[in-house]
């Protein structure tokens, strides 16, 4: 709107005019509001025409704002007798839009374009792969159920379910390439800290009992009688997954490291790092593998499996130190009721020679950890006593923490008869033996750094366990329903990528929210379509987390009403890569 003065010399009027387009598309203007007679208004401003025109333009601006606000108020008419259209989807998830923008920043479009150029297929593998990721994060289930869920997104699939299964085979073949490219592209989203690499293995079970392909009977961490596959996973120093691979369920975990680490060194350009893992993967061969080539290691070390003379030195309460101090401390002199002492970690260094390797065992002692172990064992002893007093048999399970390990069985054999009775009692010797290790923990390393820094490196191993927990529980990567080896690998590839996308989302949000909060919020972020030609209204609660999502990703879907054209624009923008060409 603008100000215009019309009329004869002595009879002028001041108007606010509005520009518009006629039905034929030609521009025109019309009077929107009369501000008053020119001479009367001029008199109010003491004859100062400049001040009068400034006031008139301000009024025009106010009317423009008011008009736009009234224009934005949408009026939708509903009928109490009209039925909703048959088979029309009315509720849509929009939480996936934040994931879609992340996938755009990871350049999935380029990755899938290169894959398509190497294979002969006509379906949209980019849409299939990203939809599988959205479904794994927002509604984890089988591939068929995931395909069904994707029809509740604002952009339903234009491919068939059969295309999904065909694409799985291509994804499996291109798994290494996809992981390499995602690692490189993820540096544009969040700088990857590869100074320390954490490695661990877990296994996943199938809803079948027969062995075939990589599905083998092995040492199941959940003690299930199902065939399993093993996943090896590398994680960087910030808890973001780096690379993975799948191995037969009956393969020794120790042998999985070299294959995957060689790929990381060769294809990811990660040749200088500190390798960190648990004792189960810390064989002499694996330590030797990381003892040269600008690599080193920090690996959990079992005190119980040490040679007796080394174990006696490690558990000897003398010659411990405080971090940052050279003063020797005798653990027997500590007042563990003192809060400061209770929360302090003490350490000692024990030299170790293994073949040609000079290593150091760093033994730590924590009064807090000791109290925790005593509490857990106390509960287990109580359960063992109930088992002894109960009517059932005290059978020991496969779990190493089974309370039945504290039960001692003595067979009773009457003269000349076969033993048919048994007496059960607490195994006090076993309890005392385990109590020897309360509060103690050890790692073996070839580093010569400050022991407190080495301890910090090892303490972050919990994050790789959390990565496995998220995949298994929150993303429901198990049980596995697909059967062919290539489709099994593709299934875990989508789970791995989903974990990568989720971890990057956490980083973008400043790690201020829990996994449950983020996933629950994204899964509940739905909008309702009011009518085919109008638009959407949010059907979720606005929270600090939804505000953080909108502020971080620079678009909003929390207005009271969103027109279809506005939503199309938002969708289009989330498909555009926003990062610069320089690494963060």
Residue 215's pLDDT is what?
A: 43
CA distance 325 to 301: 24
Whether 274 shows a pLDDT value over 90: the answer reads yes
Other CB atoms within a 10 A radius of the CB of residue 50 amount to: 8
Q: How do the domains of the chain map onto residue ranges?
A: 2-72, 368-435
Residue 95 contacts residue 521 (beta carbons within 8 Å): yes
Radius of gyration of the chain (CA): 34
Long-range contact pairs involving 306-312 (C-beta distance under 8 Å, separation at least 24): 306/361, 310/350, 310/352, 310/361
Look at the alpha carbons of 176, 182, 185, 188 in this order and tell me if their dihedral is positive or negative.
negative
Residue 211's pLDDT is what?
A: 45
- Bridge partners of residue 214, in order along the sequence: none
Tens-digit pLDDT profile for residues 43-73: 888 889 899 999 999 998 888 877 776 566 6
Whether 336 shows a pLDDT value over 90: the answer reads yes
| 431 Rama sector, left if φ>0, alpha if ψ -120 to 50, beta otherwise | alpha
The angle subtended at Cα 166 by Cα 165 and Cα 172, nearest 5°, is: 90
Percent of the chain with pLDDT over 70: 91
- Classify residue 128 by burial, with Cβ atoms within 10 Å: 0-12, 13-18, 19+: buried
Q: Which residues contact 275 (CB under 8 A, 6 or more apart)?
A: 197, 199, 261, 290, 295, 296, 297, 298, 299
Which residue in this structure is represented by tokens 């829990």?
A: 514
Name the helix (H) or strand (E) containing 444: strand 440-445
- Classify residue 426 by burial, with Cβ atoms within 10 Å: 0-12, 13-18, 19+: middle
- Classify residue 150 by burial, with Cβ atoms within 10 Å: 0-12, 13-18, 19+: buried
Tens-digit pLDDT profile for residues 513-558: 999 999 999 999 999 998 777 889 999 999 999 999 999 999 999 9
Predicted confidence band of residue 415 (pLDDT cuts 50, 70, 90): low
Tens-digit pLDDT profile for residues 239-249: 999 999 999 87
Whole-angstrom CA distances from 452 to 39, 129, 315, 442, 578 are 85, 43, 19, 13, 40
Tens-digit pLDDT profile for residues 122-181: 999 999 999 999 999 999 999 999 999 999 999 999 999 999 999 999 999 999 999 999
Sheet holding 296-300, edge to edge: 241-248, 228-235, 196-205, 274-277, 296-300, 440-445, 357-365, 346-354, 320-321, 328-329
CA distance 34 to 15: 4
Q: What six digits make up the tokens of 418?
A: 């076969």
Coil, strand or helix at 357: strand
Residue 72's pLDDT is what?
A: 60
94 vs 565 pLDDT, higher one: 94
Tens-digit pLDDT profile for residues 66-86: 777 656 666 677 788 888 888
Q: What six digits make up the tokens of 333?
A: 């002199």
């Amino acid at each position: 709107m603008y100000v215009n003065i019309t009329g004869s010399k002595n009879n002028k009027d001041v108007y606010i005019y509005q520009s518009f387009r006629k039905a034929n598309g030609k521009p025109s203007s019309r009077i929107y509001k009369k501000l008053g007679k020119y001479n009367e208004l001029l008199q109010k401003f003491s004859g100062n025409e400049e001040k009068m025109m400034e006031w008139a333009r301000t009024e025009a601006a106010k009317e423009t704002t008011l008009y736009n606000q009234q224009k934005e108020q949408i009026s939708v008419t509903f009928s109490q007798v009209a039925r909703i259209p048959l088979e029309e989807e009315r509720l849509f998830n929009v939480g996936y839009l934040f994931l879609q923008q992340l996938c755009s920043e990871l350049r999935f479009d380029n990755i899938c374009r290169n894959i398509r150029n190497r294979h002969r297929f006509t379906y949209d593998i980019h849409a299939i792969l990203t939809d599988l990721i959205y479904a794994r994060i927002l509604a984890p289930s089988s591939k068929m159920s995931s395909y069904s869920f994707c029809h509740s997104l604002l952009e339903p699939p234009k491919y068939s379910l059969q295309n999904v299964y065909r694409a799985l085979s291509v994804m499996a073949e291109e798994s290494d390439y996809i992981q390499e490219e995602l690692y490189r592209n993820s540096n544009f989203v969040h700088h990857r800290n590869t100074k320390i690499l954490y490695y661990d293995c877990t296994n996943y079970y199938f809803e079948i009992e027969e062995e075939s392909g990589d599905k083998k009977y092995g040492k199941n961490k959940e003690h299930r009688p199902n065939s399993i596959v093993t996943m090896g996973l590398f994680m960087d120093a910030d808890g973001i997954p780096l690379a993975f691979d799948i191995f037969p369920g009956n393969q020794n975990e120790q042998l999985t490291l070299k294959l995957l680490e060689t790929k990381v060194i060769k294809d990811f350009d990660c040749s200088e790092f500190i390798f960190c893992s648990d004792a189960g993967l810390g064989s002499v061969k694996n330590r030797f593998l990381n003892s040269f080539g600008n690599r080193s290691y920090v690996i959990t070390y079992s005190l119980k499996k040490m040679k007796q003379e080394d174990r006696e030195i490690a558990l000897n309460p003398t010659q411990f130190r405080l971090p940052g101090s050279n003063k020797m401390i005798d653990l027997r002199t500590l007042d563990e009721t003192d809060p400061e002492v209770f929360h302090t970690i003490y350490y000692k260094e024990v030299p170790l020679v293994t073949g040609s390797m000079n290593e150091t065992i760093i033994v730590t002692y924590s009064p807090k950890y000791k109290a925790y172990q005593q509490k857990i064992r106390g509960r287990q002893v109580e359960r063992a006593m109930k088992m002894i007093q109960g009517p059932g048999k005290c059978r020991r399970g496969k779990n190493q923490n089974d309370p039945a390990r504290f039960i001692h069985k003595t067979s009773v054999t009457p003269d000349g008869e076969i033993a048919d009775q048994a007496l059960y009692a607490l195994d006090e010797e076993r309890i005392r033996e385990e109590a020897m290790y309360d509060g103690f923990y050890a790692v073996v390393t070839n580093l010569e750094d400050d022991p407190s820094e080495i301890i910090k490196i090892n303490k972050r191993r919990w994050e790789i366990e959390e990565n496995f927990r998220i995949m298994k529980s929150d993303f429901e990567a198990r049980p596995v329903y697909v059967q062919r080896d290539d489709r099994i690998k593709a299934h875990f590839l989508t789970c791995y990528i989903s974990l990568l996308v989720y971890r990057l989302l956490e980083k973008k949000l400043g790690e201020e929210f829990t996994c449950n909060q983020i996933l629950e919020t994204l899964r509940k972020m739905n909008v309702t379509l009011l009518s085919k030609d109008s638009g959407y209204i949010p059907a979720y609660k606005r929270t600090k987390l939804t505000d953080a999502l909108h502020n971080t990703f620079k678009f909003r879907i929390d207005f009271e009403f969103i027109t279809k054209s506005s939503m199309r624009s938002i969708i289009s923008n989330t498909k555009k890569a926003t990062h610069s060409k320089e690494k963060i």
